[in-house]
Structure 1
Amino acid sequence: MTATPPTGDELVGMLAALSNPLRLRIVAELANGRDYVSNLARVIGVSRPLLHMHLQRLEAVGLIVGSLELSEDGKAMKYYEVADFDVRLTASTLAEAVTTLTLKEKS
C-alpha cells in the first residue's frame, strides 16, 4: 500500500516542526524506540517543561504519538514514539503539495 503524500498544509507543518534542532534530536532519539518523558529529558539534556513543549509540536503535526500508561507502581507515565511517516522531498512532491496549500504567508 502506498502512503498518501501530505497536503501542502501538512508538509509545511512537518517541515516547520523539524526545522528546530532540538526537535530533530527528539525524533532521532525516538527512532531508537519509544521512551517516557522523564528519561527522554535526561537523555537529551533538557528540562521536562521544555521537552513537553517540543513534544506537543511534533505530536500536533503527526510525527510522533504519545500514550499514557501506568507503571508497575501505579504511576502514570507518558510514552512517546515515532509515528509511521514517510515524506519524500522532491520537486514533484513540493509541486503537488502547493496545489493543496491553504495556509497564508505571514507578512
Structure 2
Amino acid sequence: MNIEQLAATLAAIASPQRLRILATLADDRLHVSALARRVDMSRALLYMHLTKLEAAGFVVGGLELSADGKALKYFEATPFVLTIDLPTISAAVALSPISPADETD
C-alpha cells in the first residue's frame, strides 16, 4: 500500500458516523432502511457514507428482491485488519515517489 492508498483508507474511516456504521454492520447484514434507523441517519446521508466505505473496501452492498418484489439494498462489513504504526507508514512512504510539491527548500 502506497502513501496515497493509506491516506485514502484512513480518510474512509476517519468519521464517527462511518465508525458507527461499521460497528453496526459488524455482526449484521442490513438493508439500507434498517441500517438508517439503527444509526439514526437519513438514507441520503447514509448512502454518502456507505459509498466511501464501499470504495475503500470496508463494506459491500448488493440488491435483493423481497418477498413482495421490492428491491432492497443490503450492506455488510468485510473482514479487515488495519495496522497503523511507524513501520506501516514508512513502508507506504517508501513505495511513493516524492512529488515536487512534497519537497521543501
Is the shorter-chain TM-score for this pair beyond 0.5, marking a shared fold? yes
Q: 2:74 is aligned with what amino acid?
A: Y
Deviations 1:39-94 (A, max 9, x none): 00001001000000000011111111111111111111111111122111121111
Instruction: Output the aligned Cα RMSD.
Output: 1.7
Percent identity between the two aligned chains: 46
Moved over 4 A (4+): none
- Determine which structure has more spread, i.e. the larger CA radius of gyration: 2
Give the paired residue count. Answer: 99
**Higher share in helix:** 2
Structure 2 unmatched ranges of 5 or more: none
Q: 1:23 is aligned with what amino acid?
A: R
Which residue pairs with 2:6 in the alignment? Answer: 11
Name the SS for the 1:32 alignment partner.
coil
TM-score normalised by structure 1 residue count: 0.83
Name the SS for the 2:90 alignment partner.
helix
TM-score normalised by structure 2 residue count: 0.85
Which residue pairs with 1:64 in the alignment? Answer: 59
Name the SS for the 2:4 alignment partner.
helix
